[in-house]
Structure 1
């Protein structure tokens, strides 16, 4: 069974937008204002919500780019470490291979 407890970016965005819409609808229905004032307030709230969502989206994009860049750096470093280990292993085995070539084969 998969233990995925994290929320996906899509579900977070959907929850965010749902909250905005629910809050705006509640404010619209319960506000003691004229229709024109309510519409203007709703437009202001929608613009603010759009700006907030744009900021959230930009931050998420920058965070994702940072994660990708750090992952690439890590993989490059790990690859270098593995290559160094392989080279060291080859170098350590070289004398053993050379000595086994110099010894005559003896039958058992």
Structure 2
């Protein structure tokens, strides 16, 4: 009996996003720029990552809402087809 213990595509995508952000932050900190310039760049990267994260969550939320709606509709259809014993 084999069990699939893999990671979801969302988890993998999030891991790559976080890794990319960490790598970019380290690169910015090690780059030969002034502290102020580095902080401005890091803030820009953080703002961009926040927007991408919000978009990612919103897209997954829409998919989940559609699945829940479809499940409810299927349940109602099946309940309507069952005989009533009461």
Q: More relative contact order in 1 or in 2 (CA 8 Å, sep 6+)?
A: 2
Partners of 1:39 and 1:26 in 2: CA distance: 12
* TM, length-normalised to structure 2: 0.71
Which residue in the other structure is 2:41 paired with?
A: 41
Distance of 2:70 and 2:32 partners within structure 1: 52
Structure showing greater radius of gyration is: 1
SS in 1 for 2:26: helix
Unaligned runs of 5+ in 2: none
In the alignment of these two chains, the number of paired residues is 82
Trace 1:61-72 onto structure 2 (pairs within 5 A).
61-72=61-72
CA RMSD, 1 decimal: 2.5
The TM-score, its normalising length taken from structure 1, stands at: 0.59
